[in-house]
A = this chain, B = another copy of it.
């Protein structure tokens, strides 16, 4: 059994049970505990799992939300997408972040880095409270209660004053002709401004978003730099997107 296979199985086991011991995994995978420990350490470095004494778990209980998390759709995929996106950041750069669960997964994975963050999402700011080397600028704006995101002209004007190296946003639908879409038009507009201020645009979207069309258009597919998704994204759609000059990465 090769390393990558073990890693996959460890993540799969965690997805099922939430936490596993080194011993269990050693038996399950016919590997020595030393190897399992090395595997877990590596997965932890990539922020895919959290290493603990005796084993590994999916998330640090300190940040475990009282609700969902484990119920959330495609949370393993989102976590891996977030971890990959976080690992691709250049230290010291300024990144703009929208809202959404996938982006939040990325934020938890990037806490140890050195960055400047501009965001329209209140949750992102709060999550970064214990990130010692990341400063956070909240755009301000009308507080959307459902998503805890900030919209409107205050958000827009604040964004007009910053330059971003990368804008990273989550979406609800991606379609070759209809572009990147979401449910709320005010949020779509703010995301459009975010995009306009950035040299590069990264989109985070698990495979369930492919081929979906939502009411509010954010931008066209050709306008983005990178699309970070999971292994299950439909191949022909991925090919079509790449043909538009977008680099598609599968976590």
A interface residues, Cβ below 8 angstroms from B: 1-5, 7-8, 11, 15, 18-21, 43, 46, 48, 50, 52-55, 57, 61-62, 64, 66, 122, 125-126, 128-130, 135-143, 145, 148, 150, 152, 154-155, 157-158, 161
Contact = CB atoms under 8 A, between A and B. Distances in A.
A21 B1 CA distance: 7
Given A8-B57, A66-B15, A140 B122 contact: no
11 contacts: A3-B53, A4-B57, A5-B57, A122-B125, A122-B138, A125-B148, A129-B145, A137-B142, A138-B140, A140-B158, A154-B161
B142 A11 contact: no
Contacts of A143: 125, 128, 135-138
A7 B141 CA distance: 38
Q: Which of A52, A53, A55, A154 has the most CB of B within 10 A?
A: A154
A213 B11 CA distance: 39
Q: Which of A52, A61, A125 has the most CB of B within 10 A?
A: A61
Nearest to A135: B142
Contacts of A157: 157
Contacts of A61: 4, 7-8, 11, 43, 46, 48
Contacts of A66: 15, 129
